[in-house]
Amino acid sequence: MRWQAVTPSDDVEAASWIAPRLLPFNSYRVGAIVPTRYAAYARIPFDAQLAPILAQHTSTPDRCWFCLWEGYAYLTGAMAERTAWNPRGGYAPRPPSPPRLVPPPKLPAGRVQLPNRNYVLFAGSVDQGDGWQDGPNLWWPEDRSWCVASEVDLDYTLVGGSPALAEELIKAGAVATAVDEEL
């Protein structure tokens, strides 16, 4: 998990530009996930290493914002059920033992509130955006030259940015897409 390496932030105003640029979530359009008004968009697999490419397309690579969905169990202090491998049937619950409560980490109180999801906000550099267990679900540099969105219910990532960024992502295996394209 790489979210521990970035700085938690209560500066939720840094994300205030996103909600007005999103299409309705039930529109099933690219712009419902990644903000509209970018000149180009790309869809890429979750496992792509984006930071080296993205860093070249911003004037603020040392100042980046990261949003992580607040619903991940490790952020909320969820119960951890103990399981064991059963060669006849995969994973199975272990014999009865009391479940252990995993305490939630200390996080800022403020949340980025967008339609259908709330996020914990972090600050760091662009190179800290790769390698997270989950997410980041949204991330963008201070200059907003691009925005990356990885919706928890989708199996790909969307990037909005310049045509030059989209071309470079396509060369690296991304698929070109349009803001009005269905998800």
Which pLDDT does position 179 carry in this prediction?
A: 82
Which pLDDT does position 101 carry in this prediction?
A: 60
Which pLDDT does position 146 carry in this prediction?
A: 98
Q: How far apart are CA 135 and CA 66, in angstroms?
A: 9
In this structure, the number of other CB atoms found within 10 A of the CB of residue 56 comes to 12
Q: How far apart are CA 118 and CA 163, in angstroms?
A: 30
78 burial via Cβ count (<10 Å: 0-12, 13-18, 19+): middle
Contact 174, 69 (CB under 8 A): no
What is the greatest pairwise CA distance in the chain? 57
Q: What residue ranges do the domains of the chain occupy?
A: 3-177
Q: How far is CA 17 from the centre of its chain?
A: 17
Residues near 117 by beta carbon (within 8 Å), at least 6 away in sequence:
69, 70, 71, 137, 152
Low-confidence residues in the chain, pLDDT < 50: 1, 81-82
Which pLDDT does position 1 carry in this prediction?
A: 47
Closest to 131 measured CA to CA, from 117, 109, 150, 108: 150
Q: How far apart are CA 106 and CA 53, in angstroms?
A: 32
Which pLDDT does position 92 carry in this prediction?
A: 55
**What SS3 state is found at 40?**
strand
Q: Give CA separation, 3 vs 94, 95, 131, 153, in Å.
A: 30, 33, 9, 19
